[in-house]
């Protein structure tokens, strides 16, 4: 394969933000004003989402993590500024601490109407906020190989991103309840292993042919080979509370892809684990975040989740300098020290016994680095 071209591993980051009323702190429809104002400044980098209290942003294709940091910072600042001018607040959390989905308006758009019509309450109640990270690939053949192997690490990174401990005013007991809400959708969760890109494409064709889906974007797995771009798209994470957390997680996904590519170039393959086993770790990550244990399937034993995350950092260590992302990934150490977004939300709630204070905290942290 020759020397590795680390420039292949471009990044694209999508984040979903909540829009709040500064008085009640409830989720509030922005009547697409944030989107229409935003498009004047950042063009198609801001989009409407199914629920009117959600704003979705996406970076351009970023050649490295520093460009991604600049883009995400600009997007958060722009959206925050526009929302402020409209008398609204924005924040980043996988779920709102107490707003009820029944009161939230759905965006009137053919695609969303079709989804709501098909999925009914599962769609209407899907008031959650995620992070999607695209990592560029040289080909779709390579993308499916990397996606197959990268599945194993999804729970580890998801544990770091956990940022949704509350749902409709209740303490859920989960560090990430967002995934529990999303599980009601079809075609979600950890994907299966695919023998080849042809096997993946024929699976998609079969679903389209039999009217299960009308296009490949209705595959909502935690990780997918993107239907139109040469990217692997990581979709498992809660939207992180701060910019640095988003960037650290994106850098980690990029490094996992580059490391798996490096192994492949040496004819080494990472062990494939079944979806059933990976799911056990995903459940633990959602329930306990970084404070629990996960299973090391090689050793067939439970291991402290933090230890496994440190092992993951060691695993990718030999590619981060070529990617230029060592400083971004170093923030993972701070996340392990200070706790995830969920841990910090829970700490505020424990101190104040007030979900309004939690919402204030989410808003205050939006531009924090």
Residue at 19 is within a domain: yes
Residue at 148 is within a domain: yes
Structurally, how many domains does the chain consist of? 1
b (16+ CB within 10 A) / e for 297-315: eeeeeeeebbebbeebbeb
Cα dihedral 216/222/223/228 (nearest 10): 30
Note the pLDDT tens digit of each residue in 317-354. 999 999 999 999 999 999 999 999 999 999 999 999 99
Q: Identify the segments of the chain with pLDDT beneath 50.
A: none
Provide the whole-model pTM. 0.97
Of 77, 79, 58, nearest to 11 (Cα)? 58
CATH number of the domain where residue 306 is located: 3.30.590.20
Q: Looking at residue 2, what is its pLDDT?
A: 55
Residue at 369 is within a domain: no
Residue at 37 is within a domain: yes
Q: Exposed, middle or buried: residue 369 (CB in 10 Å: 0-12, 13-18, 19+)?
A: exposed
Q: Looking at residue 108, what is its pLDDT?
A: 86
- Domain of 125 in residue numbering reads as 8-364
Note the pLDDT tens digit of each residue in 242-295. 999 999 999 999 999 999 999 999 999 888 999 999 999 999 999 999 999 999
Residue at 287 is within a domain: yes
Residue at 1 is within a domain: no
Residue at 2 is within a domain: no
């Amino acid at each position: 394969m020759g020397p590795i071209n680390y420039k292949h591993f471009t990044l694209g980051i999508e984040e979903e933000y909540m829009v709040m009323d500064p008085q009640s702190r409830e989720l509030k429809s922005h009547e697409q004003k944030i989107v229409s104002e935003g498009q004047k400044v950042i063009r198609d980098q801001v989009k409407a989402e199914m629920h009117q209290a959600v704003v979705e942003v996406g970076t351009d294709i970023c050649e490295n993590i520093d460009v991604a940091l600049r883009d995400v910072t600009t997007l958060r600042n722009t959206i925050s500024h526009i929302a402020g001018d409209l008398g609204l607040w924005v924040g980043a959390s996988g779920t709102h601490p107490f707003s009820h989905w029944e009161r939230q308006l759905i965006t009137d758009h053919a695609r969303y109407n079709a989804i709501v019509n098909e999925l009914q309450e599962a769609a209407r109640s899907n008031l959650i906020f995620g992070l999607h990270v695209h990592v560029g690939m040289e080909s779709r053949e390579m993308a499916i190989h990397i996606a197959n192997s990268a599945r194993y690490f999804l729970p580890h990174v998801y544990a770091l991103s956990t940022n949704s401990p509350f749902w409709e005013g209740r303490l859920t007991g989960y560090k990430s309840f967002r995934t529990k809400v999303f599980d009601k959708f079809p075609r979600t969760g950890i994907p299966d292993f695919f023998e080849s890109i042809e096997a993946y494409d024929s699976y998609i064709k079969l679903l389209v042919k039999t009217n299960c889906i009308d296009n490949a974007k209705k595959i909502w797995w935690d990780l997918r080979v993107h239907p139109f771009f040469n990217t692997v798209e990581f979709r498992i994470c809660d939207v992180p509370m701060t910019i640095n957390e988003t960037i650290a997680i994106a850098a980690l996904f990029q490094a996992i892809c580059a490391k798996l590519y490096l192994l492949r170039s040496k004819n080494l393959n990472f062990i494939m684990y079944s979806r059933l086993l990976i799911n056990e770790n995903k459940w633990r990550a959602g329930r306990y975040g970084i404070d629990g244990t996960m299973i090391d399937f090689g050793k067939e034993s439970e291991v402290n989740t933090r230890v496994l995350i440190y092992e993951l950092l060691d695993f990718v260590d030999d590619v981060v300098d070529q990617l230029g992302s060592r400083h971004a990934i170093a923030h993972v150490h701070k996340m392990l020290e200070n706790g995830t977004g969920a841990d910090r939300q829970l700490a505020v709630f424990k101190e104040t016994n007030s979900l309004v204070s939690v919402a204030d905290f989410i808003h205050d942290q939006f531009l924090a680095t």
